[in-house]
Amino acid sequence: SSYPAQLILPEAGAAQLQAFADAAARMAKAPAATEYIQAIGESAFITNLLQGVLAFEWAETRMVSDDPAKGLGMAESDGLLIHQLREILGEPESHVELVSPYFVPTAAGTEAFARMAERGVKIRVLTNSLDATDVAAVHAGYAKRRKDLLEAGILLYEMRRLSPEKDHKENLGPFGSSGSSLHAKTFAVDRSRVFVGSFNFDPRSADLNTELGFVIESPSMAGAIEEAFDTSIPANSYEVRLSESGKLHWQEQWNGQQVRHDTEPRTSFWKRASVSFMSILPIEWML
C-alpha cells in the first residue's frame, strides 16, 4: 500500500541540506515566527506543561483505523474505520455533536441522520461555510443535502471565515487551499464518548482514504463539545435555517445583533452558481 521513499525522492546533497538549514534559520527570525513563538510562550497550556502542573484526565481510549489494504481495494469490511466506529459507538441515544470541515452525508447518510432524529436524538453539525471552505466542490456535495437535513430537525452551523482578511487567491478554484478554514474533525455521542481523528464525514474518508482516530470515553470532553455548540459555535458561525416557505437562510450573531442572510454569506454570485452546477454532477462518490 506504499512506496519506499527512496524510489520517489532524490537523495539530498550536502549543499541542499545546508540551504534547507539556512532557510529554516531565516524563517525562525521572521516577524511572523517571532510573534508565533511569543504566543506559544505565553500560552497557559505550555506554561503549565513545562512546570509539570498540567492537569491530566485519564480515560479509556481505543484507536480505530482503516486496514492499509483499503488503499488497494482489498480491505475486509470489519477492517474499515467506519465499521469499527459502529461497533464501538452503537446507536446514539440522546445527543450527537459533529464537527467536520468536509461534510458530505450523501443520500444514505442523510436518511440515517433523519432516522436518528426521529428517535429523539438531538443532532448538531458544524462544517465550513462556502466562504470559509477551501474545497468548493465538497461544499456542493453538502449543500444539496442541507434542506433534507433541516427538514429532519438537524441543526446546521457553518463556520465563518476565521480570518477577516481574504487570505486566499480567488483564482484557486474549487480545489484551492485556505489557511482560515475549519479543520477539526471530531464528534461527541450521548455526552459520554468523543471521537478525534482524521476522518471526515464524506465518501472519500469512508471509501477511498485510509483514516485513523481515537474513541475516548470522557464525559467531560463530550460535555465541552456540547457546551461549545451552546456558546462559542453559534457566536462564530452561521446557523442555517429553513423558512416556512421552504427557503434557506443564514442567521449570524454580529455585534450583539441577529443578522439574516438570504444567500450564502460573503460569497459572489459566480461562486454560488459554480457550487450549484457542481451539485448536479455525478461526483458525490469522489468528495
Residues 68 and 42 in one domain: no
Has residue 165 been placed in a domain?
yes
Are the C-beta atoms of residues 210 and 71 closer than 8 Å to each other? Answer: yes
| Same domain, residue pair 40 and 91 | no
CB 182 within 8 A of CB 103: no
Whether 187 and 76 map to the same domain: the answer is: yes
pLDDT tens track for 225-261: 999 999 999 999 999 999 988 999 999 988 888 999 9
Write down the pLDDT at residue 87: 87
- Does 240 reside within a domain? yes
Side-chain-facing half-sphere of 176: CA atoms under 13 Å:
17
In the chain, DSSP assigns E strands to 61-65, 95-99, 122-128, 155-159, 186-189, 193-197, 212-217, 237-242, 248-254, 257-261
φ/ψ (deg, to 5) at 15: -65, -40
Position 167 scores a pLDDT of 44
pLDDT of 67-83, one tens digit each?
999 989 899 988 999 99
Q: Judge if 148 and 121 occupy the same domain.
A: yes
Measured CA to CA, the distance from residue 245 to residue 219 in angstroms comes to 40
127: domain CATH number is 3.30.870.10
Q: Is residue 56 part of a domain?
A: no
pLDDT (0 to 100) of residue 37:
87
DSSP codes of every residue in 127-150: EE-TTT-S-HHHHHHHHTTHHHHH
Same domain (yes/no): 18, 160: no
Q: What angle do CA 220, 224, 227 make, to 5 degrees?
A: 135
Look up the domain containing 37 and give its range: 12-50
Same domain assignment for residues 33 and 101: no
Q: Are residues 87 and 200 in the same domain?
A: yes
* Domain co-membership, 31 together with 119: no
Number of domains within the chain: 2
67/61 Cα distance (integer angstroms): 19
Provide the β-strand partners of residue 61.
Answer: 216
Query: Is residue 2, in this structure, part of any structural domain at all?
Result: no
Q: Which residues of the chain have pLDDT under 50?
A: 165-178
Same domain, 140 and 271: yes
Same domain, 266 and 220: yes
Position 229 scores a pLDDT of: 95
- On whether both 142 and 186 belong to a single domain, the answer is yes
Q: Report CA-CA distances (Å) from 10 to 6, 7, 37, 142.
A: 7, 8, 33, 40
